[in-house]
Amino acid sequence: MNAYEQYMKELAQPMRTELTGQGFESLETTDAVKDYMDNAKHDETTFIVVNSVCGCAAGLARPAAVTVAQQNEKKPSRTATVFAGQDKEATETMREYIAQVPSSPSMALFKGSELKYFMPREHIEGRDIQEICMDIKDAFDEYCD
């Protein structure tokens, strides 16, 4: 790993920990993403956060994802994250499952292997955090048991 890559890894670690410290599994390789997604049971819900270093991830996406995943009555069975710009192959592999326009940060909710909800960056950036939380809550309420 060169000095730049090491610096970026160290810079991104607190941003990664903001999710993993709240129970989100960090998927850092292609194999980890495939194993995680391919082992979802048909009745399980999986909430994925595509993390990034941008301001809207720090001020909006991560706080909203953590708040709703912890506080909502209905919660996904599993929560995980990939880090765009850090775990490039893992992120690309996850985007194959999401099958939407690549966007980071973004959030996706699956039931089994079926994508049920997707929030791209343009639905995060520039919005009020309460609106984002309500959108996530509505998706959890609809699809999570």
Say which of 32, 50, 56, 65 is annotated catalytic: 56
Say which of 54, 61, 65, 90 is annotated catalytic: 54
Task: Give catalytic status of residue 144 as yes or no.
Answer: no
DSSP 2-71: -HHHHHHHHHHHHHHHHHHTTTPEE--SHHHHHHHHHT--TT-EEEEEEE-SSHHIIIIIHHHHHHHHHH
Annotated catalytic sites, by residue? 54, 56
